Amino acid sequence: MTTLVFAAHADDEVIGAGGTIAKLAETEKVIVVIFSYGADFWGQLTSWPPMMNPQELIKARVAESQKAGDMLGVSETIFLGIDPSRGINDEQKKKITDIIKKYNPKRIFYHSIKDGHPDHRAVTRAMNEIVSKLAKKPEVLKYQINLFDVSSKDPSWIYDISDKYKLKLKALRQFKSQKLWTAPLKPLILLKGVVFGKRSNCKFAEYFYSE
């Protein structure tokens, strides 16, 4: 059994679904697919140390992702080298489709359309289109990164990650080149973990939507 986790940027998969990845990886194969290396000008400007050389930044992001993935039990991490801010063309969508067909996953995780980052929403739109055209459709579950959905609509799936929460934070700390981004999100990660944990009578949880 295989699960694919798609993320716009390295670290999104850990922020949105790190605990769930670690839980699922105990019994099945989990493969992470990351769109962007994050080595454009904005990525360089917000890197740590600031203004890293693009090639050094790419090398760091790949190494950080693989180290975090190893901690969580990820079987493989794939970088697509696609910048969602520039649009995702038909050739790139075919590449993603081929990956899905190759691994034939039971379920796929990717960003919620309600996420605040435009790259996240671009990935969601492309993935929605790709999945809609699949003859064999996997279960789709969508995670949120930088927003907290306080609507009355309940998540499709709340996953108890109480025993993996510390591991999730440890994996997130591996993204040292992105700590200017990850550090401010930690209080939100904690808040969401506690709030949705209470909904399912556990200490910490991650939540996902099917729409």
pLDDT tens by residue, 61-88: 999 999 999 999 999 999 999 999 899 9
pLDDT given at position 199: 87
Q: What is the pLDDT of residue 55?
A: 84
pTM of the model: 0.93
pLDDT at 129: 97
pLDDT for the residue numbered 188: 87
Q: Which domains, from first to last, does the chain contain?
A: 2-208 (3.40.50.10320)
Is the link from the previous residue into 118 a cis peptide, with omega within 30 of 0? Answer: no
Partners of residue 206 on adjacent β-strands: 159
Low-confidence ranges of the chain (pLDDT < 70): 39-48, 50-51, 147-153
Query: What token pair was written down for 196?
Result: 């949705």
Give the closest residue to 5 by CA, choosing from 36, 42, 30: 30
Angle at 12 between CA 6 and CA 14, to 5 degrees: 95
- Alpha-carbon span 77 to 100, nearest angstrom: 14
Please tell me the predicted confidence (pLDDT) of residue 22: 98
User: What's residue 184's pLDDT?
Assistant: 80
- What pLDDT sits at residue 149? 65
Q: What DSSP string runs through 46-86?
A: TSSSTT--HHHHHHHHHHHHHHHHHHHT-SEEEE----GGG
- CA 53 to CA 47: how far, in whole Å? 10
